[in-house]
Amino acid sequence: MRKIPLLFLSVLVTSSLWAQHEKTSVQSLSEWKPTIDVCSDVVMVYGANDRPTQTFRERVQTWRDRGYTTHFMSGIAWGPYWDYFAGRWDGVPHMDEGQMTASGDSLLHGPNMPYIVPTMNFLNYVKEQHVKRVIDAGIDDLYFEEPEFWVRGGYSEAFKREWESYYGFAWRPQHTSAADYYLSSKLKYYLYYRALDEVFTFAKAYGREQGREVRCYVPTHSLLNYANWGIVSPEASLASMKSCDGYIAQVWTGTSRTPNYYNGVSKERVFEMAFLEYGCMESMTRPTGRKMIFLTDPIEDRAVDWEDYRRNYQATFVAQLLYPMVDHYEVMPWPERIYERLYRTSPNSEEKSRIPRFYSTQVQVMVNALKEMPKSDNKVSGSQGISVLLANSLMFQQTVRDVEGYDEHNMSNFFGLALPLIKQGIPVGITHLENVGYKETWRDLRVLLMTYSNMKPLDPESHRHIADWVRQGGTLIYCGRDDDAFQRVPEWWNTTGNHYAAPSEHLFSLMGIDAEAAEGHYRYGKGQLYVLRHNPKEFVLNVGADSLLLQTLEAAYGAYEKKNAFRLDRGPYTMAAVVDESLVSNEPMMLKGSFIDLFDPKLPVVTEKTVHPGEQAFLFNINKVAERDVPKVLAAASRQYDEVTTPNSFSFTAKSPIETDNVMRILLPSEPKKVEVGVESRSSWDEASHTLLLEFENRPEGVQVTLEW
């Protein structure tokens, strides 16, 4: 049986290799248009195919002509590859290489666009017909997104052939047992690891032939979302792939609104889910030094209404900013969808409109703030050093239907460990089992919570790293009955001379503890182990059932800070979120100072901001501005260019999409005597903050502003 690549590599990619001027990006299928000119640093031009009226190179050039750096994006599991499927590339149709369900249905991403089983023939096509074309067009940064193999797939002839090649024995239908589900998912995981490594290795080699350095990235949903939605993907293993330079964390309303259980109630918890998803992504690259780009989306794939989009966008936006070590952002996907399509004006109306002016203003204020968002060494408020262990095999135990009595209940074995902590105001982290071989993984970690109720270790080496961390003083809380059917799949802990009934028995044995350790408290070296013989889902599926977990955490950690809110300051920016359903407090958070409210499209200056349970805040702290006598645009629904400052004047050009309103809050030494704007405008002065509020209609070609005092 072929092994999945081991991941404990030591090569790091340093931030000095990253182009700092490429801080913000957007992906688009379109050529440049004035309605979607959001003034990001980078546009990821999507798809390399020519069109009847425009070649790929011409489409790329429309963005370059407007000052954008051009990168490239396409799918790896699906995409505009009709010439391959129809047989126009090699003379052989390949629709049979799509992913297929047990009932014989093809899994499609669009008309005649199947989710692919990534055969070597398909990968050769991608290299020759797409990668070469993109690099030949002068693009050095490639993104192949969403390596996705559906759990309900795995029945096509192409997959059966890959099974026999990988395992060396005849294909088995996955639905027959937990072991066959596990083997099927493990192969799907490997196939997309191989796919990306093949394409990226080729791209880098071809770039070197042209005398250029090519960088390759994977835009992907979080491990939590893929497992929740029944998708298998390489995820954390890519962080150690030599040919992979980093990720885009594809987290947005659509992923984060997936319901989960807490206190016996299943519902959407968008902020909490987004916080965990971004944490899951950030923690994949922290030990390896690979680049991480965070995505948010002002809307989502599902057609809802503008107010729903706005509310959930705020929740996901604040969640991403609570990770101060990440400062690169894809500010939105598909601006043509956001600015040009029609959606409902309210939840109870079928009337539709393009994005309301107030919302486009708010969105542009937010995304332009990302251009200024600094990294920070500050920590999110709350007790630090508490983390939950995750492994890629989380995806291997997601089944189309219950198998041998196994039922995850919306990923409740994960949320049973994480949500009770978040509701206590703990900024819980994620630790990836694939990364435990890196020293950096363990930095500042005090308590690790883990279970094998929903995942399994792919090799014994990871246990040696965990045991060594405990021996040196770490505290491990292990939760699980270890009685699910996946404990018995044919894996290393019960084959090749090992006879453990569950993988946890191997871990406990390494720590000199009885393999079938009963519930209780144990010591190993300088560290501690707490064993809870409960599956974590029990802590959230029932009302008030998390008390045992929280009592154990307090015994393991000591007194931790109990609260219902999170706050982080990054330079002049303040982010805050208050959770609902908290058993600690239902009180709002009160923030005092001199703030610009960046969620309010009127950009008011406020001295107090109240954040209620279930709400978030995004503020600019005027008191944090170092040089108060130097003119500066503090917040704006536009990007400013060609700024010029003299002893008594400040001028610049403001650019943003057409048919949107600009609002700006500008710090000045004193009230201006002259406000000159190239279009009709309104302005007002706030003496207390020494800021000018300026409003006018945006133009992508730019509006000239001159202020004199």
Q: Where exactly are the structural domains of the chain?
A: 15-354, 386-557, 565-624, 632-708
Whether 632-708 and 15-354 are alike in CATH topology: the answer is no
| Of 356, 332, 331, nearest in space to 342 by CA | 356
- The pTM of this model reads 0.96
* pLDDT for residue 7: 38
Tokens standing for residue 399: 């089944």
Spatial contact of 593 and 605, defined as CB atoms under 8 Å apart:
no
CATH code matching the domain that covers 632-708, chosen among 1.10.760, 3.30.70, 1.10.3470, 2.60.40: 2.60.40
Q: Which residues lie closer than 8 Å to 134 by C-beta, 6 or more apart?
A: 48, 72, 142
| Of 595, 674, 672, nearest in space to 631 by CA | 672
* pLDDT for residue 121: 98
Mean pLDDT by 10 residues, the chain (709 residues): 39 38 96 98 97 97 98 96 94 94 94 94 98 98 98 96 97 95 97 98 98 98 97 93 96 97 97 98 94 97 96 98 98 97 94 97 98 97 98 94 86 97 98 96 97 97 98 98 96 95 98 96 98 98 97 98 98 98 96 98 98 98 95 98 97 98 98 97 98 98 98
Spatial contact of 74 and 48, defined as CB atoms under 8 Å apart:
yes
Question: pLDDT (tens digit, 9 = 90+) per residue, 541-568?
Answer: 999 999 999 999 999 999 999 999 999 9
Spatial separation of the C-alpha atoms in residues 279 and 336, rounded to whole Å: 29
Question: pLDDT (tens digit, 9 = 90+) per residue, 306-362?
Answer: 999 999 999 999 999 999 999 999 999 999 999 999 999 999 999 999 999 999 999
Q: Coil, strand or helix: which one is 509? A: helix
Helix or strand run (H / E) with residue 164: helix 157-167
Spatial contact of 636 and 654, defined as CB atoms under 8 Å apart:
yes
Spatial contact of 36 and 339, defined as CB atoms under 8 Å apart:
yes
* pLDDT for residue 407: 84
Helix or strand run (H / E) with residue 135: helix 132-136
- How many of the other CB atoms lie within 10 Å of CB of 609? 20
Q: Which CATH superfamily does the domain covering 15-354 fall into?
A: Aldolase class I (3.20.20.70)
Spatial separation of the C-alpha atoms in residues 690 and 709, rounded to whole Å: 12
Q: Regarding the domain delimited by 386-557, which CATH topology (the fold level of the hierarchy) does it fall under?
A: Rossmann fold (3.40.50)
CATH code matching the domain that covers 565-624, chosen among 1.10.3470, 3.30.160, 2.60.40, 2.30.29: 2.60.40
